[in-house]
């Protein structure tokens, strides 16, 4: 019921502007809250530290959480409303300090954990009720990006006092020498470590030491080493990388001289059908604008191949060799400074950023979703925001489309980490108090008509003509993510009126003479235009502050205000009636009903404005 009595003071809470077409293209089409989705939540037993590590566990809808001195297993499968939380004993060799490293473990021990206490760090493989210690790990004492391979732990340190860089500690049966980077005084901040074939890559932002005010404060870089690197001779680079090369990531618009030089996060999308793996970087510039650029891993390797011209005695700088200790002294001296490639790594096809926004994005994940006929695939970006929300974005070349904005937390909640389970199409979002599961295939929120489903442009969803509903996509359904053609049945596309209060002729709403009322229309799509019509004639209306309701204010109810009111939305060629009411002046026995209606509607009004 949305015929609401309103006071003059409340009227001031509304703004009169409606988003223009240019503005809405940068807004999420749908905003989804707890009332829309009923997010599954895992409440943490105690508030965590400022960092959080999330990892998938064995089994569907199960994850591990590590933060501060707490290690837990969350099962979102068994309970339909909230996750089951199971605490895991933390200590490795009696160490109970904060977790610095958490990585997928090995068979029988699903977790690998390092904890730091006082000046020492210990690591172990952990099961739910036990652990296998591997002993001290001297380079795993900071909560920074790390990577565990079969026989080695790679860790990073962001330090400008000769300690910053990529480290390796042996953890397997084959004991390799621990490795450290050559001395460096650069101020670095690492965001990711990954292995590809026989090479390890570390991505980081480096503070620029150049004092020129026209120079960017940061530079985004890639460091690459060979997994087989065992260091140099006793005289040069002993137990230090002999294969480390450095490259720069470029993201921006050269013509406008607008660049994004600070790397915030990285996501890797595995190759499809033998193509190159894709790397998605989330960047920020000095004006707090964020951007996403995509790269081919093959292009990164090709950038490093330029060192072939500097071969010494047949050995190419950065090339993986069987025994690095036998490399010529001249080459080792060249590698001591970790040479940097002359050319930058450009985005795919030297393109502009995929997405540019004034919003403060903090984390990125990328998923590949199968499309129509099994031939098309669509890449979807999942971006957390500092406001506590998450954007689901269709890549779509240079014209990204923000499908939905999820609000799993209270506004302003700081998101510490996000994890994508691509096989289950679930996104896990963590704050200091809880972890929320977002079902990316929840399609019912888009509406009950074919056009509503198709206009969502969500590749996870399709229109089921048999069931007459928007459902997780399969090959028998209709989908047109790019909205290239009319795919809905003709009878579904005609304008249909939906009354939220029954038939106007049978169940009109009675209101008092000279009273002030307003009619509320829920804004479903942020990309649609909404209008109020009174007996077919448009009436001026107001949009509330959060763009969730279009309100028609009736200042002084009179005979001319009686009649049929419809709120109509228009999006592209699709029109529909979102709300419909019939108003009549109250008289005689209807007065009491009108008063009850006004009281109930006023209560609803305040609920909408909270």
Q: What is the pLDDT of residues 229-254, one digit of tens each?
A: 999 999 999 999 999 999 999 999 99
Measure the CA–CA gap between 204 and 341, rounded to whole angstroms: 16
Residue 495 pLDDT > 70: no
Structure tokens, 12: 């001031």
Q: Would you place residue 108 in the very low, low, confident or very high pLDDT band (cuts 50, 70, 90)?
A: confident
Please give the residue that has the higher pLDDT: either 492 or 195.
195
Give the pLDDT confidence of 52-66 residue by residue, as tens digits.
Answer: 999 998 778 999 999
In this prediction, residue 597 carries a pLDDT of 47
Residue 348 pLDDT > 70: yes
Q: The tokens 């509503």 sit on which residue?
A: 452
Residue 275 pLDDT > 70: yes
Q: pTM value?
A: 0.88
CB atoms within 10 A of CB 603: 11
Mean predicted confidence (pLDDT) in 402-428: 95
In this prediction, residue 492 carries a pLDDT of 44
Q: Would you place residue 174 in the very low, low, confident or very high pLDDT band (cuts 50, 70, 90)?
A: low
Q: Supply the mean pLDDT for the chain.
A: 84
Tally of residues, the chain: 610
CA distances from 361 to 161, 355, 365, 390 (A): 30, 11, 12, 9
Mean predicted confidence (pLDDT) in 197-223: 86
Q: Which of 494, 482, 404, 399 is nearest to 451 (CA)?
A: 494
Q: Would you place residue 47 in the very low, low, confident or very high pLDDT band (cuts 50, 70, 90)?
A: low
Measure the CA–CA gap between 377 and 349, rounded to whole angstroms: 19
Q: Provide the b/e sequence for 430-449 (b: ≥16 CB within 10 Å).
A: bbbebbbbbbbebbebbbeb
Please state whether beta strands 417-421 and 426-430 pair in parallel, antiparallel, or not at all (unpaired): antiparallel
Give the pLDDT confidence of 508-563 residue by residue, as tens digits.
Answer: 888 889 888 889 999 989 999 999 999 999 999 988 877 789 999 998 999 999 99
CA distances from 358 to 26, 285, 545 (A): 10, 10, 19
Residue 9 pLDDT > 60: no
Main-chain dihedrals φ then ψ at residue 99, nearest 5 degrees: -75, 130
Measure the CA–CA gap between 403 and 379, rounded to whole angstroms: 12
Q: Picking from 413-417, 482-486, 597-601, which range would have the lowest pLDDT averaged per residue?
A: 597-601
Q: Which of 364, 316, 335, 342 is nearest to 248 (CA)?
A: 342
In this prediction, residue 544 carries a pLDDT of 83
In this prediction, residue 6 carries a pLDDT of 40
Alpha helices, H only, 144-296: none
* Percent of the chain at pLDDT exceeding 70: 86
In this prediction, residue 80 carries a pLDDT of 73
Q: Which of 428, 596, 574, 442 is nearest to 496 (CA)?
A: 574
Please say whether the beta carbons of 513 and 558 come within 8 A: yes
Give the pLDDT confidence of 329-340 residue by residue, as tens digits.
Answer: 999 999 998 899
Please say whether the beta carbons of 192 and 166 come within 8 A: no
Q: Would you place residue 12 in the very low, low, confident or very high pLDDT band (cuts 50, 70, 90)?
A: very low
Give the pLDDT confidence of 564-602 residue by residue, as tens digits.
Answer: 999 999 998 889 999 999 999 987 444 444 444 444 444
Give the pLDDT confidence of 114-165 residue by residue, as tens digits.
Answer: 988 888 888 999 988 888 888 788 888 888 999 999 889 999 998 766 688 9
Contacts 24+ apart (CB under 8 A), 4-7: 4/517, 4/518, 4/519, 4/520, 4/598, 4/601, 4/602, 4/604, 4/605, 5/515, 5/516, 5/517, 5/598, 5/599, 5/601, 5/602, 5/605, 6/516, 6/517, 6/518, 6/553, 6/602, 6/605, 7/516
Residue 435 pLDDT > 80: yes
Assign residue 212 a region (left: φ > 0; alpha: ψ between -120 and 50; beta: otherwise): beta
Q: Would you place residue 191 in the very low, low, confident or very high pLDDT band (cuts 50, 70, 90)?
A: very high
Strands (E), 443-488: 461-464, 469-472
Q: Would you place residue 185 in the very low, low, confident or very high pLDDT band (cuts 50, 70, 90)?
A: low
In this prediction, residue 161 carries a pLDDT of 67
Give the pLDDT confidence of 455-474 residue by residue, as tens digits.
Answer: 999 999 999 999 999 999 99
Q: Picking from 72-86, 164-178, 316-330, 422-436, which range would have the lowest pLDDT averaged per residue?
A: 164-178
Measure the CA–CA gap between 439 and 416, rounded to whole angstroms: 19
Residue 315 pLDDT > 60: yes
Q: Picking from 25-34, 193-202, 284-293, 314-323, which range would have the lowest pLDDT averaged per residue?
A: 25-34
Q: Which residues pair with 355 in a beta bridge?
A: 292
Measure the CA–CA gap between 32 and 25, rounded to whole angstroms: 18
Please say whether the beta carbons of 154 and 193 come within 8 A: yes
Structure tokens, 476: 């028998």
In this prediction, residue 23 carries a pLDDT of 35
The string of DSSP letters for 553-603 reads EESS--GGG-EEEEEEEEETTEEEEEEEEEEEE--TTHHHHHHHHHHHHHH
Q: How many CA atoms lie within 13 A of 364 on its CB side?
A: 29
Structure tokens, 186: 């650069």
Torsion angle, alpha carbons of 429, 435, 439, 442, to 10:
-110
Residue 296 pLDDT > 70: yes
Q: Would you place residue 476 in the very low, low, confident or very high pLDDT band (cuts 50, 70, 90)?
A: confident
In this prediction, residue 284 carries a pLDDT of 95
* Dihedral sign from CA coordinates of 587, 589, 593, 599: positive
CB atoms within 10 A of CB 451: 21
Q: What is the CA radius of gyration of the chain?
A: 29
Q: Provide the b/e sequence for 557-571 (b: ≥16 CB within 10 Å).
A: beeebbbbbbbbbeb
In this prediction, residue 593 carries a pLDDT of 43
């Amino acid at each position: 019921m949305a015929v609401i009595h309103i006071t003059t003071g409340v009227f001031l809470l509304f703004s009169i502007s409606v988003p223009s077409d240019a503005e809405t293209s940068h807004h999420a089409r749908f905003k989804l809250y707890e009332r829309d989705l009923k997010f599954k939540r895992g409440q943490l037993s105690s508030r965590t530290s400022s960092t959080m590590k999330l990892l998938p566990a064995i089994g569907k809808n199960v994850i591990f959480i590590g933060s501060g001195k707490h290690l837990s297993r969350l099962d979102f499968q068994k309970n339909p409303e909230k996750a089951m939380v199971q605490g895991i004993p933390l200590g490795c060799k009696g160490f109970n300090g904060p977790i610095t490293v958490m990585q997928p473990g090995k068979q029988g021990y699903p977790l690998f954990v390092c904890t730091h206490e006082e000046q020492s760090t210990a690591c172990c493989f952990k099961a739910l009720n036990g652990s296998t210690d591997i002993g001290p790990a001297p380079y795993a004492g900071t909560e920074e990006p790390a990577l565990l391979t079969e026989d080695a732990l790679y860790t990073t340190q962001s330090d400008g006092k000769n300690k910053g860089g990529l480290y390796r500690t042996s953890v397997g049966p084959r004991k390799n020498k621990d490795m450290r980077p050559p001395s460096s005084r650069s101020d670095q901040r690492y965001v990711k470590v990954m292995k590809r074939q026989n090479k390890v890559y570390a991505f980081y932002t480096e503070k620029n030491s150049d004092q020129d005010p026209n120079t960017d404060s940061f530079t985004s870089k890639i460091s690459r080493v060979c997994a087989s690197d065992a260091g140099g001779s006793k005289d040069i680079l002993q137990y230090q990388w002999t294969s480390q090369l450095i490259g720069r990531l470029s993201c921006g618009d050269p013509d406008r001289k607008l660049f994004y030089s600070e790397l915030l996060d990285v996501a890797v999308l595995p190759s499809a059908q033998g193509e190159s793996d894709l790397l998605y970087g989330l960047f920020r510039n000095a004006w707090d604008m964020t951007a996403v650029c995509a790269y081919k891993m093959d292009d990164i390797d090709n950038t490093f191949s330029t060192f072939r011209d500097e071969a010494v005695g047949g050995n190419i700088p950065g090339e993986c060799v069987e025994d690095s200790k036998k490399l010529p002294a001249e080459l080792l001296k060249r590698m001591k400074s970790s040479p940097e490639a002359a050319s930058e790594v450009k985005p795919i096809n030297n393109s502009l950023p995929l997405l540019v926004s004034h919003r403060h994005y903090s984390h990125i994940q990328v998923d590949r979703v199968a499309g129509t006929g099994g031939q098309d695939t669509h890449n979807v970006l999942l971006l957390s925001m500092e406001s506590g929300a998450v954007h689901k974005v269709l890549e779509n070349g240079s014209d990204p489309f923000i499908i939905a904005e999820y609000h799993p937390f209270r506004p302003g909640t700081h998101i510490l980490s996000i994890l994508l389970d691509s096989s289950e199409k679930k996104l896990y979002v963590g704050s200091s108090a809880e972890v929320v599961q977002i079902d990316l295939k929840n399609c019912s929120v888009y509406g009950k008509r074919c056009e509503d489903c198709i206009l969502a442009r969500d590749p996870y969803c399709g229109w089921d003509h048999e069931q007459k509903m928007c459902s997780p996509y399969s090959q028998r359904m209709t989908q047109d993510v790019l909205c290239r053609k009319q795919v809905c049945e003709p009878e579904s596309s005609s304008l249909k009126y939906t009354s939220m209060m029954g038939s106007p002729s049978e169940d009109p709403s009675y209101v008092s003479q000279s009273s002030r009322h307003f009619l509320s229309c829920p804004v479903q799509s942020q990309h649609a235009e909404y209008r109020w019509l009174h007996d077919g004639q448009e009436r001026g209306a107001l949009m509330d502050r959060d763009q969730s309701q279009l309100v028609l204010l009736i200042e002084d109810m009179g005979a001319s205000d009686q009649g049929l009111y419809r709120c109509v939305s228009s999006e592209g060629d699709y029109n529909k009636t979102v709300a419909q009411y019939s108003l009549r002046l109250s008289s005689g026995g209807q007065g009491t009903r009108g008063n009850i209606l006004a009281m109930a509607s006023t209560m609803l009004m305040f609920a909408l404005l909270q």
